[in-house]
Structure 1
């Protein structure tokens, strides 16, 4: 009992020489999962391997699956995702998942990079200063979700919640989205993946479907992303993601 030839070939390309202990203890599960994830699902859509692994890594951070993250991190590096890009994926998770849940993934990333002989810290990617982060953050926020919506968010927030809108502009967008290492379109795909995998964020998922459309990620790309996340995050959260796409960008 073993995964089919295509599944084995695709699995081995991502994880050369890796033999899961579950193949011995749980062969039926490995057969069905690998056939699904590495053949049936992998055959759907047009995501390149780099993009696929980047969005999967983001989702796995949100799912708190540290062991699986380490495995997929090696695969991502093998297909050409750079150390800077890996770090930026993890940093992108901080404003959405929270630093408490991201700390272990930062440490795991550092450990893997150090084992590969990659010197830390990596080159800096920040483009803002304490004086410019709010202005630049607001500008990129308007670029991503639209000036009218940003102005509406500020106008509709009660006086005692205005500080949260300022935090969103300066911290979430100014400290994070303005960084180099990843472009805005990729950061939005990562945010979409993080929110879908996190669960309980349906309004934010819908908002970032719209944001993805603003930066050039169309319905097809979002569906391809959700499809590749499915084996790792399960059906309920994936289907919630599809519902958000259907509501904001119907077929």
Structure 2
């Protein structure tokens, strides 16, 4: 079963992030801690993201909100990349981040918005408020 969860997780990740991003996270972690690399693929992506009931866009929105609320801005760029690749629009991402300000507070939300700005800049995405 574990191998199946790992394969499912890799499949989900390959749909959400570039090969370069995948290598910069999973492959890099494999060199340091193969067990941790296996966990970060199997659990969130092989067990949760691959479940029926929500699509990758919905799961990406939930992940962004949870990461902002928990103050996990260091991992947010990976998930913003994945959200864009899952089909979320730049406006949807910005709105999701803005929505968190009432629940997570200004400091965490501003940190997140700066991550969004960085990812958009790296990808050449021009954001214009609707």
TM-score, normalised by the number of residues in structure 2:
0.83
Choose from 172, 187, 192 the match for 2:59. Answer: 187
Q: What does residue 147 of structure 1 align with?
A: 19
SS in 1 for 2:83: helix
Q: Distance in 2 between matches of 1:238 and 1:153?
A: 24
| TM-score, reference length from structure 1 | 0.45
* Deviation, structure 1 residue 206: 1.5
Asked if 1:220 corresponds to 2:91, the answer is: yes
Partner of residue 46, structure 2: 174
C-alpha displacement of 1:247: 0.7
Is 2:79 aligned against 1:208? yes
Q: Secondary structure at the match of 2:68?
A: helix
1:162/1:229 CA distance change after superposition, 3 Å: same
Contact 1:133 1:170 (C-alpha < 8 Å) held by counterparts:
yes
> Is 1:236 matched with 2:107?
yes
Matched pairs, number: 122
How far apart are the structure 2 equivalents of 1:190 and 1:159? Answer: 30
- 1:70-118 deviation digits (Å, cap 9, x = unpaired): xxxxxxxxxxxxxxxxxxxxxxxxxxxxxxxxxxxxxxxxxxxxxxxxx
Structure ID, larger Rg: 1
Deviation at 1:228, TM superposition (A): 1.9
Query: Quick one: distance in 1 between partners of 2:108 and 2:44?
Result: 23
Contact 1:138 1:169 in 2 (8 A): yes
Q: Where in structure 2 are there 5+ consecutive unaligned residues? A: 122-126
* Distance 1:160-1:190 versus aligned 2 partners, 3 A rule: same
Question: What 5-or-longer segments of structure 1 have no aligned partner?
Answer: 1-128
Cα distance change, pair 235–170 in 1 and its aligned pair in 2 (3 A):
same
Which one is further off, 232-241 or 154-163?
154-163
